[in-house]
Amino acid sequence: MSEHLTEIIVFTVLFLLVSGMGFVASRWRQPKDMAHLDEWGLGGRSFGGWITWFLVGGDLYTAYTFVAVPALIFGAGAAGFFAVPYTVIIYPLFFLILIRLWSVSHRHGFVTPADFVRTRFDSPTLALVIAITGIVATMPYIALQLIGIEAVLKTMGVTGESTIARHLPIIVAFAILAAYTYQSGLRAPALIAFVKDTLIYIVILVAIIYLPYKLGGWNAIFDAADAKFQASPAPNDGITLNANNQVQYFTLALGSALALFLYPHSITGVLASKNRDVIKRNMSALPAYSLLLGLIALLGYMAIASGVKPLPGAKPGTVDSNTVVPVLFDQQFPSWFAGVAFAAIGIGALVPAAIMSIAAANLFTRNIYKEYLRKDATHAQEANVAKITSLVVKIGAVACIVFLDPQFSIDLQLIGGVIILQTAPAVVIGLYTRWLHRGALIAGWAAGMAIGFWMLWQIPNAATGRKHFGGSAFPLSEFGLDSTKTIYVGFVAVLVNALVAVIVTLVLRAASVQEGIDGTKDDDYFADEGDARLEQQRTTPVENVSST
C-alpha cells in the first residue's frame, strides 16, 4: 500500500474537491424554486452550449470508455475499435431526431421519453413499458461506473480480504455522491463535468504523446499488438477484422448508436439544454469526445507493448481485464500523475452515475408514481419522490457490484443496450408518425425483448467458461444459415420488434381497435426558445434569449 501513497493522496484530494463542488452546485444558477422536477431533474432546462457540451460529453463517455474499451482492445484487438464508428454515426443519426424531441418536450413539459409516448399515443401502459425498460437498462450501466472506480482502487492497492472491506471505498464514494445528487440534482454533475472532462483531456493528451515516446513509437506499439494476436489461439483477434466479425462490427456500431440516445440519461442531458441551437451545435462539437475515445481505446495496445499483466480477478485463476489501463498508468507515469489519471477515471464515473440515477428517478416519478400511485401529486411532491428514488437506485447499483461478478461489466452494458433499443419504434418513429398502433408497439416491444433475451441466453463465452449471456455476438449459424459470421443481438431484436409492430398495426386497424387521441400538434415539434407559450412554463428564466 505504501508504494501507492502519493497516488492515493492525489486521488483523495481531487475526489474531495469535486464532492465539495457537488454540494455547492445547488446554489449555482440558483432557481426561484428548487422544489420542482424541472429544476432538480433537468437543471431548469436552461443550459447553454458549453455546459451542455461538458454535461452530455461527461454523460455519454463514461467509465466504460476509460476502462472497458481499452480492455476489449487489449484482449481482442480491432473488434473493440467499434467504439469509434459507433460514436461517429450517433450525431448525424440523431441530429434531426433530438431537436424534435426537445421541442415537443418543452412545449408539453415532458421530463422523460415515456412522458412523450404517453401523450403521443394516449397510452399509460405503453409509457409504463418504456419507463420500466429505461430503468432496467440504466441499472447495470450505473453498476458499470462502479467497476471503473474499483479497477482504479484495486491498482492503488486499496483492497480488503472480506467482501465488505473490499467494497467499502466505493460504498463511501457512492454515499457522498448520493448525498450531493439528492441536494443539487442535475446541477451537481453539470458542474463536476467541467473538472472531470478537463482532467481526462489532460491525462489522455499526455498519455498519447509520452507513452509512444517511451514505448518506441506507434509502429512498434501496433507491431507488438500484432505479434501478440498472431501468437494467440483465439480465432477472432487481430489488429484488423477478419471475414467473420465484420458484420458484428458494423451492426454493433449501428445498434449501439441507435441505443445511446434512447437511454434515459442521454435524453435528460439533451432536455436540459435551453434551445434547439444548443443541441445542433453540440452535434458538431461532441465528436471531440469520440476522438478522445479512439485514443483511449488505443491505450489497450500500449498496454500490450508495455507488457502489462492485468491484476487477478475476484475468483482464483481469473484476471480482471478492467485493470489494464490503470496498471499501464501505474507502471509508466510518475506516481503523482498516475494519481491525477486515477482521479480522472474515478470522477469520470461519478458524473454519469449521478445523471443516470436522476434519469431513472425521473422515470419512476413521472411514469409510475404520478401515473399510478398519486395522480394529483404537486410539483414539490414530484421533486421529493425523485430525490428519494435517486437514493434507492444508487443502493441498487452498489448491490449489483457487491453481488455480481464484475468481469462482465461490458456485457452487462451490452445487454442494457439490447433492451433499450426495443423502445426505438415507440420513441423515435413516434416522433415522426403516429401510424404505428399503440397496441402494436407494445406487441413489438414484447417480441423484441423475447428474441433479444433468447439470443443472449444462447451465447456462450469461451474465455470465461460461461454458457449463457457470454456476449452480444450471435452466430448466424444458429438461425440455420450456413455461415461462421456473427451479428449483434440488439440489431436483430429491434428489426423483429419493428416488423411485429407493423404487422400488428395492420391487424388492429383492420379490427378497428381504438387508437386513442394524439395529445401533440404538428407545430409542437418545432417549438423553440422565445416562443411565448414556451417561456411562460420556464421555472428558470434564461438570461440572454437572443444570444445567436
Partner 1 sequence: MTEPERRRTDRSPWNWLLLVPIVVPLLTFLYNRDEPRIGGFPLFYWLQFAFILLGVGTTTLVYQMTKRRRP
Q: Which of residues 113-142 bind partner 1 (CB under 8 A)?
A: none
Q: Please report, for residues 186, 243, 374, 408, 517, the alpha-carbon distance to residue 366 in angstroms, rounded to integers and kept in the order given.
A: 16, 47, 10, 32, 20
Q: Which of positions 273-332 make contact with partner 1 (CB under 8 A)?
A: 280-281, 283-284, 287, 290-291, 294, 298
Q: Give every CB contact of residue 99 below 8 A, 6+ residues apart in sequence.
A: 276, 279, 280
- Pick 162 or 548: Cβ nearer partner 1: 548
Residues near 26 by beta carbon (within 8 Å), at least 6 away in sequence: 34, 183, 184, 185, 187, 188
Stretch that binds partner 1, among 167-175, 199-207, 235-243, 366-374 (CB under 8 A): 235-243
Half-sphere exposure of 348 (CA within 13 A, CB side): 29
User: Is residue 507 a contact residue for partner 1 (CB under 8 A)?
Assistant: no
Q: Is 48 in the site for partner 1 (CB under 8 A)?
A: no
Contact 106, 534 (CB under 8 A): yes
Sequence letter at residue 493: A
Q: Should residue 95 be labelled a site residue for partner 1 when binding is judged by CB under 8 A?
A: yes
CB of residue 70 to partner 1, shortest distance in Å: 14
Q: How far is the CB of 485 from partner 1 (least distance, A)?
A: 12
Among 23, 194, 222, 453, binds partner 1 (CB under 8 A): 222
Nearest approach, Cβ of residue 268 and partner 1 (Å)? 22
Assess contact for 237 and 77: CB atoms under 8 A: yes
Element containing residue 474 per DSSP (H, E): strand 473-475
Closest CA to 114 of 365, 353, 354, 355: 365
Q: Please state, in angstroms and rounded to a whole number, the distance separating the CA atoms of residues 375 and 187.
A: 27
∠ CA(38), CA(44), CA(46), 5° rounding? 140
- List the one residue from 20, 27, 92, 125 that touches partner 1 (CB under 8 A): 92
Q: How far is the CB of 121 from partner 1 (least distance, A)?
A: 22
Contact pick of 162, 209, 213, 219 for partner 1 (by CB under 8 A): 219
**Residue 491 interacts with partner 1 (CB under 8 A): yes or no:** no
User: Which listed residue (21, 78, 271, 508) binds partner 1 by CB under 8 A?
Assistant: 78
Which range touches partner 1 (CB under 8 A), out of 146-154, 213-221, 450-458, 467-475?
A: 213-221
Q: What is the DSSP letter of 470?
A: -
Minimum distance of partner 1 from residue 217's CB (angstroms): 6
Told to check if 433 binds partner 1 by CB under 8 A, we report: no
Cell of 346: 474515478
Q: Is 220 in the site for partner 1 (CB under 8 A)?
A: yes
Pairing status of strand 486-488 against strand 473-475? antiparallel
Residue from 14, 25, 211, 254 touching partner 1 (CB under 8 A): that is: 254
- Write down the least CB distance from residue 424 to partner 1, Å: 15
Alpha helices in 185-334 (DSSP H): 187-215, 217-231, 246-260, 264-271, 276-285, 287-305, 324-332
Residue 1 makes contact with partner 1 by CB under 8 A: no
221 binds partner 1 (CB under 8 A): yes
Instruction: Report the nearest approach of partner 1 to the CB of residue 441 (Å).
Output: 24
Reduced 3-state DSSP string for 118-149: HHHHCCHHHHHHHHHHHHHHHHHHHHHHHHHH
* Identity of the residue, 221 or 351, whose beta carbon is nearer to partner 1 in the bound complex: 221
- The reply on whether position 548 binds partner 1 by CB under 8 A is yes
How far CA 55 is from CA of 249, 281, 301, in Å, comes to 28, 14, 29
Reported residue count of the chain is: 548
Q: How far is the CB of 92 from partner 1 (least distance, A)?
A: 4
Contacts with partner 1 in 508-537 (CB under 8 A)? 523, 525-526, 528, 530-533, 535
Q: Output the nine-digit C-alpha cell for 156.
A: 492503488
Q: Is 437 helix (H, G, I), strand (E, B) or coil?
A: coil
Kindly state the number of chain residues that form the binding site for partner 1, as judged by CB under 8 A.
50
Q: Measured between alpha carbons, how far is 510 from 506 in angstroms, rounded to an integer?
A: 6
Binding span for partner 1 by CB under 8 A among 59-67, 94-102, 405-413, 421-429: 94-102
By the criterion CB under 8 A, which residues form the site for partner 1?
A: 78, 81, 84-85, 88-89, 91-93, 95-96, 99-100, 212, 217-222, 226, 239-241, 246, 249-250, 253-254, 280-281, 283-284, 287, 290-291, 294, 298, 523, 525-526, 528, 530-533, 535, 545-546, 548
